[in-house]
Amino acid sequence: MKDKKLLVVAVVICLALILVVLPVLSACAGTGGKTIKVGMSTPSTGKAAEKGAPMGHANLDAIEYVNTELGGAGGYEIEVVWLDNAYDASKVVINIKQFMDEDCVLFTTASSAMMSACMEIANRAGFPGIASFNAPVLHRPPQHIYGQMPDYGDDWVAFAKYYMENVWKGPGKPKMAMHLLNNSTGYGALDASQAAAEELGIEIISTDEHKADTTSEMDSLTRIKASNPDVIYISSTPAPTAVIIKNAVDLGLYPDVTIGLGHAGITKALVDIAGADVVEGVYGVFPTVNWGDDVPGMAKMTEYCQELHPDDYGNMDYITSWAQSLIVAEILRLAVENAGYDVLAKGGEEAWQAVETQGIQKLSNFDVGGLHGPVSYLPGDNRLSKSVRLFQIQGGEIVPVTDWIEAPVVKYEEFAWFGQ
């Protein structure tokens, strides 16, 4: 009798285990190992590696989180075809062709410069792309390229308004010198200044360009100093921005003048490269929260970052690309729901169109865990998030000094000079 009771207990336990395991097996069998391919390209080596490396890490870390803990996109694992473009225009063109050939349904870039190099190919093919760092030329007029966040023109307008309302104390118009990276990162800020400086009451006294690998801007800053500026606006990446600010300190320009930065430049990398004492008091615009902010998505992102890439902790570029991957996952979830997996699995034009019309253009107030503004597609506006904040470097920390600022649509294509 005792043996029979033990047998019954054993059978019950086995049946219970089977009932637990069957749903898992069923879920796995339901997708049959099927995946959805996306292409991701970051400048993880080369002249912008201080930005690109943590961004590439974040993209892949977030996709691992989505696949491992959230069950992928619509129940399907996201397969990333990741390629380093080394901040080289020719390489990113090769990258995008490989993404299309390998049946990726959309692609992402970290930088506006790399998206600028390949967007003609993407727009002509109808292959949807998303750039983390965004410039007006990428999406004005709107085609198949989308900006994850506000663009470099939005940065300039937000800083200019803040400066006029909170910093400028003199009579008349303040004199602003522009120091711009010689690609879309810089040109986006220039576009905004051309469109809005007069209306805001700012006089643009000079525009200088620099390269991503510049080692000295003493000559350009000497010319700028002779013009007696009130404010210098730099739209660039961290390494050249550090060079410019250090040269400005050496020339006695800073801290006597105000310095403002676009969001490509104001990151932990800038503080590390230039030194906290050099960049103390510098302002900048950025479209994400900071590390440690009390938002729902912070804990999981911090967990993955500290486990997989602890050296990236504190770098706001990591936040940007982590959020980008969450957006990609939501786009794919919507596309699976609205168009079906089989359409996406084929790759090619039909899949691209489905992802764009049934995924990207169905985004509505998607929350990336509060890491930046809500993500929505609005007809005529290919920026998916529309909010920025002003920050200032204080004691080596990048500290917010404003709440979120909504960036309105600017139809740059209506200006005759745009794109010239």
pLDDT digits (tens, 9 = 90+) for 347-392: 999 999 999 999 999 999 999 999 999 999 999 999 999 999 999 9
9/74 Cα distance (integer angstroms): 39
Distance CA 180, CA 240 (A): 10
What tokens appear for 139 in the block?
Answer: 């999406």
pLDDT of residue 59: 98
| CA nearest to 162, candidates 255, 270, 228, 260 | 260
Over 80: is that where the pLDDT of 287 sits? yes
The residue among 170 and 174 whose pLDDT is bigger is 174
Residue 259, beta-bridge partner list: 232
Pairing assessment for the beta strands 145-147 and 129-131 based on DSSP bridges: parallel
The string over 213-238, giving b where at least 16 C-beta atoms fall within 10 Å of a residue's C-beta and e elsewhere, is ebeebeebbeebbeeebbbbbbbbbb
Confidence of residue 420 (pLDDT cuts 50, 70, 90): confident
Distance between CA 375 and CA 372 in Å, rounded?
Answer: 9
Rounded to an integer, the average pLDDT of 294-310 is: 98
Residue 419 pLDDT level (bands cut at 50, 70, 90): confident
Distance from C-alpha of 162 to C-alpha of 284, rounded to nearest angstrom: 11
Q: What is the mean pLDDT of residues 220-249?
A: 98
Q: What is the pLDDT of residues 7-34, one digit of tens each?
A: 433 433 333 433 333 333 333 334 557 9
Per-residue pLDDT reduced to its tens digit, 343-359: 999 999 999 999 999 99
Cβ atoms 317, 55 nearer than 8 A? yes
Q: Is 3 exposed, middle or buried (0-12, 13-18, 19+ CB in 10 A)?
A: exposed
Mean pLDDT of the chain: 92
- Residue 67: which residues within 8 A CB-CB, separation 6 or more? 77, 78
3-class DSSP state of 181: strand
Q: Is the dihedral of CA 143, 317, 151, 373 positive or negative?
A: positive
Contact 295, 367 (CB under 8 A): no
Dihedral angle sign, alpha carbons of residues 350, 383, 120, 416: positive
- Is residue 103 packed enough to be buried (19+ CB in 10 Å), middle (13-18) or exposed (0-12)? middle
Tokens standing for residue 134: 């965004």
Distance, in Å, from the CA atom of 347 to the CA atom of 326, rounded to the nearest integer, reads 21
Query: Which of 410, 414, 397 is closest to 160 using CA atoms?
Result: 410
For residue 361, give the DSSP letter: G
User: pLDDT for 81-128, tens place per residue?
Assistant: 999 999 999 999 999 999 999 999 999 999 999 999 999 999 999 999
Distance CA 155, CA 264 (A): 10
Span 315-337, average pLDDT: 97
Query: What does the block give as tokens for 108?
Result: 């992402």
The Cα-based distances of 240 to 79, 141, 229, 235, 379 in angstroms read 34, 30, 20, 10, 36
Query: What is the per-residue pLDDT across 177-205, written as a single tens digit (0 to 9) for each?
Result: 999 999 999 999 999 999 999 999 999 99
Query: What is the distance between the alpha carbons of residues 398 and 283, in angstroms, rounded to a whole number?
Result: 9
Question: Can you list the alpha helix ranges (DSSP code H) found in 126-169?
Answer: 136-139, 152-166
Among candidate residues 332, 275, 327, the one with its CA nearest the CA of residue 104:
332
| Three-class secondary structure of residue 418 per DSSP | coil
Residue 228 — very low, low, confident or very high, per pLDDT cuts 50/70/90?
A: very high
